[in-house]
Amino acid sequence: VVLGFIGAIAVFGLLGWLLIQSLLLARRHNANAWGYGLANIRRRIVTSVVQAIALGLGLMAMLVLTVLQNDLLKDWQMSLPPETPNRFLLNIQTDQLTSLTKFFDQHEMPEPTWYPMVRGRLTAINGHPVQVENYKDIRKKQLLNREFNLSWSNELQSDNEITDGRWWSENQPMTESEISLEEEIARVIGVNIGDRLTFNIADQLFEATITNLRKVDWDTFRVNFFAIARPGYLENYPTYYVTSFHLPADKTKLLHELIREYPNLLIIDVASVIEQIQKMIFQVSRAIEFVFIFTLLAGFVVLYAAIVATQDERVYEAAIFRTLGAKRNQLVRAWASEFMILGALVGIFAAAGATVLGYIIGKHALHIPYSFNPWIWLIGLLIGMVGVMVAGLIGTRFTLAQPPLLTLRRLG
Protein backbone atom coordinates (compact mmCIF):
# COMPACT_ATOMS: atom_id res chain seq x y z
CA VAL A 1 0.00 0.00 0.00
CA VAL A 2 2.80 2.41 0.97
CA LEU A 3 4.76 1.58 -2.19
CA GLY A 4 1.62 2.03 -4.26
CA PHE A 5 1.01 5.42 -2.65
CA ILE A 6 4.59 6.52 -3.32
CA GLY A 7 4.32 5.20 -6.87
CA ALA A 8 1.11 7.17 -7.43
CA ILE A 9 2.81 10.37 -6.25
CA ALA A 10 5.74 9.75 -8.60
CA VAL A 11 3.46 9.03 -11.57
CA PHE A 12 1.30 12.07 -10.81
CA GLY A 13 4.41 14.25 -10.55
CA LEU A 14 5.77 13.05 -13.90
CA LEU A 15 2.36 13.34 -15.54
CA GLY A 16 1.92 16.88 -14.19
CA TRP A 17 5.32 17.97 -15.46
CA LEU A 18 4.64 16.49 -18.92
CA LEU A 19 1.21 18.13 -19.16
CA ILE A 20 2.60 21.53 -18.17
CA GLN A 21 5.43 21.20 -20.71
CA SER A 22 2.92 20.23 -23.41
CA LEU A 23 0.77 23.26 -22.64
CA LEU A 24 3.83 25.50 -22.69
CA LEU A 25 4.50 24.44 -26.29
CA ALA A 26 1.03 25.63 -27.22
CA ARG A 27 1.63 28.90 -25.37
CA ARG A 28 4.25 29.99 -27.90
CA HIS A 29 1.43 30.94 -30.24
CA ASN A 30 -0.85 32.23 -27.53
CA ALA A 31 -0.17 35.47 -25.64
CA ASN A 32 -3.55 35.92 -23.97
CA ALA A 33 -4.67 35.27 -20.37
CA TRP A 34 -4.12 31.53 -20.74
CA GLY A 35 -0.56 32.14 -21.84
CA TYR A 36 0.11 34.34 -18.80
CA GLY A 37 -1.45 31.73 -16.52
CA LEU A 38 0.83 29.04 -17.96
CA ALA A 39 3.82 31.32 -17.52
CA ASN A 40 2.99 31.71 -13.82
CA ILE A 41 2.73 27.93 -13.41
CA ARG A 42 6.04 27.46 -15.18
CA ARG A 43 7.78 29.88 -12.82
CA ARG A 44 6.43 27.89 -9.87
CA ILE A 45 6.30 24.47 -11.56
CA VAL A 46 7.51 22.44 -8.55
CA THR A 47 5.13 24.15 -6.13
CA SER A 48 2.28 23.88 -8.63
CA VAL A 49 2.78 20.13 -9.21
CA VAL A 50 3.07 19.42 -5.46
CA GLN A 51 -0.15 21.35 -4.78
CA ALA A 52 -1.92 19.53 -7.62
CA ILE A 53 -0.81 16.13 -6.27
CA ALA A 54 -1.92 16.93 -2.71
CA LEU A 55 -5.34 18.15 -3.80
CA GLY A 56 -5.63 15.38 -6.40
CA LEU A 57 -5.11 12.63 -3.82
CA GLY A 58 -7.84 14.06 -1.59
CA LEU A 59 -10.28 14.37 -4.48
CA MET A 60 -9.30 10.92 -5.75
CA ALA A 61 -10.35 9.34 -2.45
CA MET A 62 -13.81 10.89 -2.80
CA LEU A 63 -14.14 9.73 -6.41
CA VAL A 64 -13.06 6.18 -5.49
CA LEU A 65 -15.95 6.00 -3.02
CA THR A 66 -18.28 7.12 -5.80
CA VAL A 67 -16.89 4.40 -8.08
CA LEU A 68 -17.40 1.76 -5.37
CA GLN A 69 -20.96 2.84 -4.59
CA ASN A 70 -22.31 3.49 -8.05
CA ASP A 71 -20.19 1.64 -10.59
CA LEU A 72 -18.59 -1.50 -9.17
CA LEU A 73 -21.58 -2.75 -7.17
CA LYS A 74 -23.93 -2.17 -10.09
CA ASP A 75 -21.50 -3.82 -12.52
CA TRP A 76 -21.17 -6.77 -10.15
CA GLN A 77 -24.94 -7.20 -9.92
CA MET A 78 -25.31 -6.82 -13.69
CA SER A 79 -22.65 -9.50 -14.21
CA LEU A 80 -24.73 -12.10 -12.37
CA PRO A 81 -26.77 -14.38 -14.68
CA PRO A 82 -30.58 -13.88 -14.57
CA GLU A 83 -31.11 -17.29 -12.95
CA THR A 84 -28.54 -16.75 -10.19
CA PRO A 85 -29.85 -18.28 -6.94
CA ASN A 86 -31.31 -15.65 -4.63
CA ARG A 87 -32.64 -17.85 -1.83
CA PHE A 88 -31.00 -20.47 0.39
CA LEU A 89 -32.90 -23.21 2.23
CA LEU A 90 -31.25 -24.69 5.32
CA ASN A 91 -32.13 -27.29 7.94
CA ILE A 92 -33.96 -29.56 5.48
CA GLN A 93 -34.63 -32.98 7.00
CA THR A 94 -34.08 -36.16 5.01
CA ASP A 95 -37.78 -37.14 5.17
CA GLN A 96 -38.76 -33.75 3.69
CA LEU A 97 -36.86 -34.12 0.40
CA THR A 98 -39.64 -35.93 -1.47
CA SER A 99 -42.39 -33.50 -0.45
CA LEU A 100 -40.18 -30.48 -1.14
CA THR A 101 -39.43 -31.81 -4.61
CA LYS A 102 -43.19 -32.04 -5.23
CA PHE A 103 -43.64 -28.50 -3.88
CA PHE A 104 -41.23 -27.08 -6.46
CA ASP A 105 -42.79 -29.17 -9.21
CA GLN A 106 -46.34 -28.06 -8.35
CA HIS A 107 -45.33 -24.41 -8.58
CA GLU A 108 -43.54 -24.94 -11.90
CA MET A 109 -40.09 -24.24 -10.53
CA PRO A 110 -36.94 -26.23 -11.37
CA GLU A 111 -36.03 -28.78 -8.74
CA PRO A 112 -32.96 -27.56 -6.86
CA THR A 113 -30.00 -29.75 -6.01
CA TRP A 114 -30.14 -31.10 -2.46
CA TYR A 115 -26.76 -31.08 -0.71
CA PRO A 116 -26.21 -33.26 2.39
CA MET A 117 -24.42 -31.60 5.27
CA VAL A 118 -23.08 -32.52 8.69
CA ARG A 119 -21.45 -30.18 11.17
CA GLY A 120 -18.14 -31.02 12.78
CA ARG A 121 -15.39 -29.28 14.69
CA LEU A 122 -11.76 -29.77 13.66
CA THR A 123 -10.06 -31.27 16.70
CA ALA A 124 -6.73 -32.59 15.41
CA ILE A 125 -4.28 -32.20 12.51
CA ASN A 126 -2.04 -35.21 11.86
CA GLY A 127 -2.93 -36.52 15.30
CA HIS A 128 -1.93 -33.33 17.10
CA PRO A 129 -4.81 -31.73 19.05
CA VAL A 130 -5.90 -28.31 17.83
CA GLN A 131 -5.41 -25.75 20.62
CA VAL A 132 -7.09 -22.58 19.35
CA GLU A 133 -5.57 -20.41 22.07
CA ASN A 134 -2.06 -21.27 20.82
CA TYR A 135 -2.61 -19.58 17.46
CA LYS A 136 -1.88 -15.88 16.97
CA ASP A 137 -3.47 -15.41 13.54
CA ILE A 138 -6.99 -14.02 14.12
CA ARG A 139 -8.53 -15.53 10.98
CA LYS A 140 -7.06 -18.94 11.78
CA LYS A 141 -8.43 -18.78 15.32
CA GLN A 142 -11.89 -17.87 13.99
CA LEU A 143 -11.91 -20.79 11.55
CA LEU A 144 -10.73 -23.32 14.10
CA ASN A 145 -13.08 -22.00 16.77
CA ARG A 146 -16.24 -22.81 14.83
CA GLU A 147 -17.82 -25.89 13.31
CA PHE A 148 -17.19 -26.84 9.70
CA ASN A 149 -20.02 -27.65 7.29
CA LEU A 150 -19.01 -31.01 5.81
CA SER A 151 -20.60 -32.65 2.79
CA TRP A 152 -19.92 -35.59 0.47
CA SER A 153 -20.12 -36.07 -3.28
CA ASN A 154 -18.80 -38.24 -6.10
CA GLU A 155 -19.06 -35.42 -8.62
CA LEU A 156 -17.03 -32.23 -8.67
CA GLN A 157 -19.31 -29.20 -8.94
CA SER A 158 -19.00 -27.10 -12.10
CA ASP A 159 -17.94 -24.02 -10.12
CA ASN A 160 -15.11 -25.96 -8.43
CA GLU A 161 -11.67 -26.52 -9.94
CA ILE A 162 -8.99 -28.89 -8.69
CA THR A 163 -5.76 -26.94 -8.18
CA ASP A 164 -3.70 -29.68 -6.54
CA GLY A 165 -4.10 -33.43 -6.16
CA ARG A 166 -6.81 -35.58 -7.76
CA TRP A 167 -10.57 -35.96 -7.45
CA TRP A 168 -11.85 -39.41 -6.56
CA SER A 169 -14.10 -41.48 -8.81
CA GLU A 170 -16.85 -43.99 -8.05
CA ASN A 171 -14.83 -46.86 -9.55
CA GLN A 172 -11.74 -46.07 -7.50
CA PRO A 173 -11.14 -48.55 -4.64
CA MET A 174 -11.90 -47.12 -1.20
CA THR A 175 -8.77 -47.70 0.84
CA GLU A 176 -9.12 -44.79 3.26
CA SER A 177 -11.42 -41.88 3.99
CA GLU A 178 -10.61 -38.93 1.74
CA ILE A 179 -11.47 -35.27 1.99
CA SER A 180 -11.17 -32.26 -0.32
CA LEU A 181 -10.47 -28.76 1.01
CA GLU A 182 -10.98 -25.33 -0.51
CA GLU A 183 -7.47 -24.03 -1.23
CA GLU A 184 -7.74 -20.76 0.69
CA ILE A 185 -8.95 -22.36 3.93
CA ALA A 186 -6.20 -24.98 3.60
CA ARG A 187 -3.65 -22.18 3.34
CA VAL A 188 -5.05 -20.34 6.37
CA ILE A 189 -5.05 -23.35 8.70
CA GLY A 190 -1.70 -24.52 7.32
CA VAL A 191 -2.51 -27.96 5.87
CA ASN A 192 -1.77 -29.64 2.55
CA ILE A 193 -2.32 -32.83 0.60
CA GLY A 194 -1.49 -35.89 2.69
CA ASP A 195 -2.35 -34.30 6.03
CA ARG A 196 -4.95 -36.08 8.15
CA LEU A 197 -7.79 -34.13 9.74
CA THR A 198 -9.90 -35.27 12.67
CA PHE A 199 -13.40 -33.85 13.18
CA ASN A 200 -15.73 -34.21 16.15
CA ILE A 201 -19.23 -34.82 14.77
CA ALA A 202 -21.94 -35.26 17.40
CA ASP A 203 -19.35 -36.60 19.89
CA GLN A 204 -18.03 -39.06 17.30
CA LEU A 205 -14.63 -38.77 15.63
CA PHE A 206 -14.24 -38.73 11.85
CA GLU A 207 -10.74 -38.86 10.37
CA ALA A 208 -9.85 -38.26 6.71
CA THR A 209 -6.79 -37.60 4.54
CA ILE A 210 -6.62 -34.53 2.29
CA THR A 211 -6.28 -35.80 -1.29
CA ASN A 212 -6.99 -32.62 -3.26
CA LEU A 213 -7.44 -28.86 -3.01
CA ARG A 214 -10.14 -26.89 -4.83
CA LYS A 215 -10.64 -23.36 -6.08
CA VAL A 216 -14.27 -22.34 -5.55
CA ASP A 217 -16.17 -19.66 -7.45
CA TRP A 218 -18.24 -18.23 -4.61
CA ASP A 219 -19.83 -15.60 -6.89
CA THR A 220 -22.22 -18.19 -8.38
CA PHE A 221 -24.32 -18.13 -5.17
CA ARG A 222 -24.66 -21.90 -5.39
CA VAL A 223 -24.15 -24.07 -2.34
CA ASN A 224 -20.46 -24.76 -1.82
CA PHE A 225 -18.38 -26.26 0.96
CA PHE A 226 -14.94 -25.71 2.40
CA ALA A 227 -14.66 -29.46 3.03
CA ILE A 228 -16.13 -32.30 0.92
CA ALA A 229 -15.59 -35.95 1.83
CA ARG A 230 -15.70 -38.97 -0.42
CA PRO A 231 -19.06 -40.79 -0.14
CA GLY A 232 -19.23 -43.79 2.13
CA TYR A 233 -18.00 -42.29 5.40
CA LEU A 234 -20.22 -39.41 6.58
CA GLU A 235 -23.63 -40.89 5.73
CA ASN A 236 -24.13 -42.41 9.19
CA TYR A 237 -23.73 -39.10 11.02
CA PRO A 238 -26.68 -36.76 11.79
CA THR A 239 -27.44 -35.18 8.43
CA TYR A 240 -29.60 -32.40 7.09
CA TYR A 241 -29.75 -30.83 3.63
CA VAL A 242 -29.26 -27.38 2.12
CA THR A 243 -29.97 -25.92 -1.28
CA SER A 244 -30.14 -22.65 -3.21
CA PHE A 245 -32.61 -21.65 -5.91
CA HIS A 246 -33.79 -18.69 -7.95
CA LEU A 247 -37.17 -17.32 -6.91
CA PRO A 248 -38.71 -14.99 -9.54
CA ALA A 249 -40.02 -11.66 -8.28
CA ASP A 250 -43.60 -12.64 -9.18
CA LYS A 251 -43.45 -15.75 -6.98
CA THR A 252 -42.20 -14.30 -3.70
CA LYS A 253 -45.55 -15.16 -2.06
CA LEU A 254 -44.53 -18.82 -2.28
CA LEU A 255 -42.13 -18.22 0.60
CA HIS A 256 -45.06 -17.76 3.00
CA GLU A 257 -46.57 -21.03 1.83
CA LEU A 258 -43.20 -22.76 2.10
CA ILE A 259 -42.71 -21.54 5.67
CA ARG A 260 -46.24 -22.53 6.60
CA GLU A 261 -45.78 -26.09 5.33
CA TYR A 262 -42.19 -26.45 6.58
CA PRO A 263 -41.79 -24.30 9.70
CA ASN A 264 -38.41 -25.86 10.54
CA LEU A 265 -36.73 -24.47 7.40
CA LEU A 266 -34.38 -21.52 7.57
CA ILE A 267 -34.64 -19.27 4.50
CA ILE A 268 -31.90 -16.78 3.62
CA ASP A 269 -32.93 -14.01 1.24
CA VAL A 270 -29.76 -13.18 -0.69
CA ALA A 271 -31.37 -10.16 -2.37
CA SER A 272 -32.19 -8.64 1.02
CA VAL A 273 -28.68 -9.37 2.29
CA ILE A 274 -27.16 -7.61 -0.76
CA GLU A 275 -29.50 -4.66 -0.22
CA GLN A 276 -28.44 -4.41 3.42
CA ILE A 277 -24.77 -4.56 2.38
CA GLN A 278 -25.38 -1.76 -0.12
CA LYS A 279 -27.03 0.36 2.58
CA MET A 280 -24.15 -0.32 4.96
CA ILE A 281 -21.57 0.57 2.29
CA PHE A 282 -23.53 3.74 1.51
CA GLN A 283 -23.61 4.80 5.17
CA VAL A 284 -19.94 3.99 5.76
CA SER A 285 -18.98 5.75 2.52
CA ARG A 286 -20.92 8.84 3.56
CA ALA A 287 -19.06 8.94 6.87
CA ILE A 288 -15.71 8.51 5.12
CA GLU A 289 -16.67 11.11 2.52
CA PHE A 290 -17.06 13.72 5.25
CA VAL A 291 -13.49 13.01 6.35
CA PHE A 292 -12.21 13.35 2.80
CA ILE A 293 -14.25 16.50 2.23
CA PHE A 294 -12.54 18.10 5.22
CA THR A 295 -9.21 16.82 3.87
CA LEU A 296 -9.96 18.41 0.51
CA LEU A 297 -11.04 21.65 2.15
CA ALA A 298 -7.81 21.61 4.15
CA GLY A 299 -5.98 21.24 0.84
CA PHE A 300 -7.73 24.31 -0.52
CA VAL A 301 -6.79 26.21 2.65
CA VAL A 302 -3.14 25.17 2.14
CA LEU A 303 -3.40 26.35 -1.46
CA TYR A 304 -4.78 29.67 -0.25
CA ALA A 305 -1.90 29.98 2.22
CA ALA A 306 0.64 29.22 -0.52
CA ILE A 307 -0.87 31.93 -2.70
CA VAL A 308 -0.79 34.42 0.17
CA ALA A 309 2.88 33.52 0.69
CA THR A 310 3.62 34.69 -2.87
CA GLN A 311 1.49 37.79 -2.47
CA ASP A 312 4.39 40.27 -2.55
CA GLU A 313 5.56 38.79 -5.83
CA ARG A 314 2.06 38.96 -7.29
CA VAL A 315 1.56 42.55 -6.07
CA TYR A 316 4.77 43.54 -7.88
CA GLU A 317 3.69 41.71 -11.07
CA ALA A 318 0.28 43.36 -10.97
CA ALA A 319 1.84 46.79 -10.51
CA ILE A 320 4.13 46.29 -13.53
CA PHE A 321 1.33 45.06 -15.78
CA ARG A 322 -1.08 47.80 -14.72
CA THR A 323 1.61 50.42 -15.29
CA LEU A 324 2.05 49.01 -18.80
CA GLY A 325 -1.67 49.39 -19.43
CA ALA A 326 -3.19 46.09 -18.32
CA LYS A 327 -6.70 46.37 -16.93
CA ARG A 328 -7.94 44.88 -13.69
CA ASN A 329 -10.23 42.36 -15.40
CA GLN A 330 -7.34 41.21 -17.62
CA LEU A 331 -5.26 40.36 -14.56
CA VAL A 332 -8.23 38.58 -12.98
CA ARG A 333 -8.67 36.49 -16.15
CA ALA A 334 -4.95 35.71 -16.21
CA TRP A 335 -4.91 34.51 -12.62
CA ALA A 336 -8.20 32.66 -13.10
CA SER A 337 -6.58 30.89 -16.07
CA GLU A 338 -3.59 29.94 -13.92
CA PHE A 339 -5.77 28.48 -11.18
CA MET A 340 -8.09 26.71 -13.64
CA ILE A 341 -5.10 25.03 -15.30
CA LEU A 342 -3.85 23.97 -11.86
CA GLY A 343 -7.36 22.77 -10.99
CA ALA A 344 -7.51 20.79 -14.24
CA LEU A 345 -4.33 18.99 -13.17
CA VAL A 346 -5.99 18.22 -9.83
CA GLY A 347 -9.05 16.82 -11.61
CA ILE A 348 -6.98 14.74 -14.03
CA PHE A 349 -4.91 13.25 -11.19
CA ALA A 350 -8.04 12.45 -9.15
CA ALA A 351 -10.03 10.95 -12.04
CA ALA A 352 -7.08 8.92 -13.34
CA GLY A 353 -6.31 7.56 -9.87
CA ALA A 354 -9.97 6.71 -9.18
CA THR A 355 -10.29 4.96 -12.55
CA VAL A 356 -7.16 2.85 -12.00
CA LEU A 357 -8.19 1.92 -8.44
CA GLY A 358 -11.70 1.09 -9.63
CA TYR A 359 -10.24 -1.22 -12.27
CA ILE A 360 -7.95 -2.93 -9.73
CA ILE A 361 -10.75 -3.42 -7.19
CA GLY A 362 -13.12 -4.69 -9.87
CA LYS A 363 -10.64 -7.14 -11.36
CA HIS A 364 -8.86 -8.47 -8.27
CA ALA A 365 -11.43 -8.03 -5.47
CA LEU A 366 -14.83 -8.43 -7.15
CA HIS A 367 -13.58 -10.31 -10.24
CA ILE A 368 -15.76 -8.31 -12.62
CA PRO A 369 -14.94 -6.22 -15.70
CA TYR A 370 -14.69 -2.51 -14.93
CA SER A 371 -16.85 -0.19 -17.04
CA PHE A 372 -15.25 3.16 -17.83
CA ASN A 373 -17.31 6.04 -16.40
CA PRO A 374 -16.74 9.42 -18.14
CA TRP A 375 -18.72 11.17 -15.38
CA ILE A 376 -15.84 10.55 -12.98
CA TRP A 377 -13.59 12.63 -15.23
CA LEU A 378 -16.19 15.35 -15.68
CA ILE A 379 -16.84 15.60 -11.93
CA GLY A 380 -13.11 15.52 -11.13
CA LEU A 381 -12.31 18.30 -13.59
CA LEU A 382 -15.28 20.40 -12.48
CA ILE A 383 -14.51 20.17 -8.74
CA GLY A 384 -10.79 20.66 -9.32
CA MET A 385 -11.07 23.66 -11.64
CA VAL A 386 -13.83 25.47 -9.76
CA GLY A 387 -12.41 24.73 -6.30
CA VAL A 388 -8.85 25.78 -7.09
CA MET A 389 -9.99 28.86 -9.03
CA VAL A 390 -12.22 30.07 -6.19
CA ALA A 391 -9.51 29.46 -3.55
CA GLY A 392 -6.92 31.12 -5.76
CA LEU A 393 -8.94 34.23 -6.56
CA ILE A 394 -9.82 34.68 -2.90
CA GLY A 395 -6.11 34.44 -2.10
CA THR A 396 -5.21 37.11 -4.68
CA ARG A 397 -8.04 39.56 -3.98
CA PHE A 398 -5.72 41.76 -1.85
CA THR A 399 -3.23 41.98 -4.71
CA LEU A 400 -5.45 44.05 -6.99
CA ALA A 401 -6.39 46.41 -4.17
CA GLN A 402 -2.87 47.85 -4.07
CA PRO A 403 -2.30 51.05 -6.13
CA PRO A 404 0.45 50.26 -8.68
CA LEU A 405 2.25 53.59 -8.21
CA LEU A 406 2.43 53.12 -4.43
CA THR A 407 3.74 49.59 -4.90
CA LEU A 408 6.50 50.69 -7.28
CA ARG A 409 7.55 53.55 -4.98
CA ARG A 410 7.76 51.20 -2.01
CA LEU A 411 9.85 48.70 -3.96
CA GLY A 412 12.00 51.49 -5.43
Give the model confidence (pLDDT) of 193-251 as tens digits: 999 999 999 999 999 999 999 999 887 889 999 999 999 889 989 999 999 999 888 88
pLDDT band at 400 (very low <50, low <70, confident <90, very high): low
Is residue 144 a contact partner of residue 130, using CB atoms and an 8 Å limit? yes
- In the predicted model, is pLDDT for residue 111 greater than 70? yes
Q: Which amino acid, one-letter code, is at 335?
A: W
Instruction: Please report the pLDDT score of residue 332 as a whole number.
Output: 80
163-201 tens-digit pLDDT:
999 999 877 777 789 999 999 999 988 899 999 999 999
- Convert 23-49 to b/e letters by CB count within 10 Å (16 or more is b): beeebeeeeebbbbbbebbeebeeebb
Question: What's the whole-number mean pLDDT along residues 287-311?
Answer: 72
Is residue 227 a contact partner of residue 181, using CB atoms and an 8 Å limit? yes
Name the residue ranges covered by the structural domains of the chain: 2-80+276-411, 87-245
- In the predicted model, is pLDDT for residue 370 greater than 60? yes
**What secondary structure does DSSP assign to 72-93, as a single string?**
IHHHHHHHS-TT---EEEEEE-
- In the predicted model, is pLDDT for residue 306 greater than 90? no
Question: What's the whole-number mean pLDDT along residues 285-299?
Answer: 71
